[in-house]
Amino acid sequence: MYFCSNYALAVLFCVVCMFCWGSWGNTQKLAGKSWRYELFYWDYVIGLLLFSLAAGLTLGSAGANPEWGFLANLKSSCGPNWLWPLAAGVVFNLSNILLSAAIAVAGMSVAFPVGVGLALVGGTMFNYLQDGKGVLALIAGGLALIVTSIVCNALAFKAKQKAAGAAADASATRKGLVLAIFAGLLMMWFSPLVNKVVDMTFMEGVVAPRAGMMTPYTGFFVFSVGIFLSNFIWNTIAMKKPVSGEPVALGAYFKGGFPIHLVGALGGVIWGLGTLLSFVTAGAAGKAISYALGQGATLVSALWGILVWKEFAGAPKTSHALNAAMLVLFVAGLALLVLAGG
């Protein structure tokens, strides 16, 4: 079983996690050209579940002591401890559906900085309370810079809407902001809930979970199961009561071709890879640092929205200046988080 125990390598993996978490939304944008996000989300969840199972059966099992392998750990940890990652999956799924709705309404460069930014701050502090790793003053300073960068992004979009004078667009943006805020307030809980029962302790010369606890691969899989099961509730509601457009019938899902389903599944795999890396690196970097660095995804997603999807095309100079400030502040905040863990 692979487990990261080197801080420098853990930081590198956290950067990969950051790009994964900040890039999966592109698959929704691609599918969204001809596919409702509610339908996309079914494939996203299926892709995530299959990836978590494949990761457990390969990296989570290869070279592991039979007592700590993926399947053995699933059996030995089965009980009340499963409730924590299952609950994390239920909570995360609702938050991610709200975030997907926010992306559909207001775009990546608004939904991600607000929703994921809030999740970053809350989730980092909750994770820090679990293991206490990292320099608290540097963590707080890094989070303060990141929050400021989020405010800059929100102001940049407000300036764009004001200059455009499009009331309908402004209304959609407000709806997207509200959805993103609720998504962030829920999303901040998923990592602390999973990390509560994921444990890799140095014992007798090896790194292994304590009795009844889970490896990162087991926790990730049970978390994914919670997402999959809850999707029959949350996404069904989203299809019947959409935030925009007409209700979507479940039968519409089966009318999509293989390529469109593959795009959604790819989105789940991309996000799943980032999430697994976040859990695998939590021991070396600390739960708070690992989670916070991964949530630098906000910066990545904002860049995708600005540079690739041209969501700020035609915006005034004020918007561009605020976005530049957002990037500088965000990078500075992430640098402080790296120092906090080192």
Nearest to 272 by CA among 53, 1, 39: 53
Nearest to 14 by CA among 209, 297, 301: 297
236: in domain? yes
pLDDT at 154 over 80: no
2: in domain? no
What is the structure's pLDDT at 111? 76
What is the structure's pLDDT at 201? 74
> The whole model's pTM is what?
0.88
What's the Cα-to-Cα distance from 285 to each of 270, 280, 292, 300, rounded to whole Å?
22, 10, 10, 21
303: in domain? yes
CB burial class (10 A; 0-12, 13-18, 19+) of residue 219?
Answer: buried
Q: With cut-offs at 50, 70 and 90, classify the pLDDT of residue 258.
A: very high
Question: Rg (Cα) of the chain, in Å, rounded?
Answer: 20
Phi-psi region of 286 (alpha: psi -120 to 50; beta: other; left: phi over 0): left
Distance of CA 326 to the CA centre of its chain: 20
- List the single range of 223-232, 317-326, 332-341 with lowest mean pLDDT: 332-341
Mind listing the pLDDT tens digit for each residue in 284-320? 888 998 998 888 777 787 788 888 888 788 889 999 9
128: in domain? yes
pLDDT (average), residues 144-173: 77
Domain extent, residue 78, equals 7-341
35: in domain? yes
Mind listing the pLDDT tens digit for each residue in 6-49? 899 999 999 999 999 889 889 988 888 789 989 999 999 999 99
pLDDT at 167 over 70: no
Mind listing the pLDDT tens digit for each residue in 51-82? 999 999 999 998 757 777 899 999 999 999 99
pLDDT (average), residues 179-204: 88
What is the structure's pLDDT at 30? 87
1: in domain? no
HEC assignment per residue over the chain: CCCCCCHHHHHHHHHHHHHHHHHCHHHHHHHCCCCCHHHHHHHHHHHHHHHHHHHHHCCCCCCCCCCCCHHHHHHHHCCHHHHHHHHHHHHHHHHHHHHHHHHHHHCHHHHHHHHHHHHHHHHHHHHHHHHCCCCHHHHHHHHHHHHHHHHHHHHHHHHHHHHHCCHHHHHHHHHHHHHHHHHHHHHCCHHHHHHCCECCEEECCEEECCCCCECHHHHHHHHHHHHHHHHHHHHHHHHHCCCCCCCCCHHHHHHCCHHHHHHHHHHHHHHHHHHHHHHHCHHHHCHHHHHHHHCCHHHHHHHHHHHHCCCCCCCCHHHHHHHHHHHHHHHHHHHHHHHHHC
What is the structure's pLDDT at 300? 84
Nearest to 50 by CA among 279, 274, 265, 278: 265
335: in domain? yes
**Count of alpha carbons within 13 Å of 245, Cβ hemisphere only?**
15
The total number of structural domains in the chain stands at 1
58: in domain? yes
Mind listing the pLDDT tens digit for each residue in 88-117? 999 999 998 898 788 778 776 677 778 877
pLDDT (average), residues 249-273: 95
pLDDT at 204 over 80: no
pLDDT at 244 over 80: no
**Count of alpha carbons within 13 Å of 98, Cβ hemisphere only?**
22
The residue type of 168 is: A
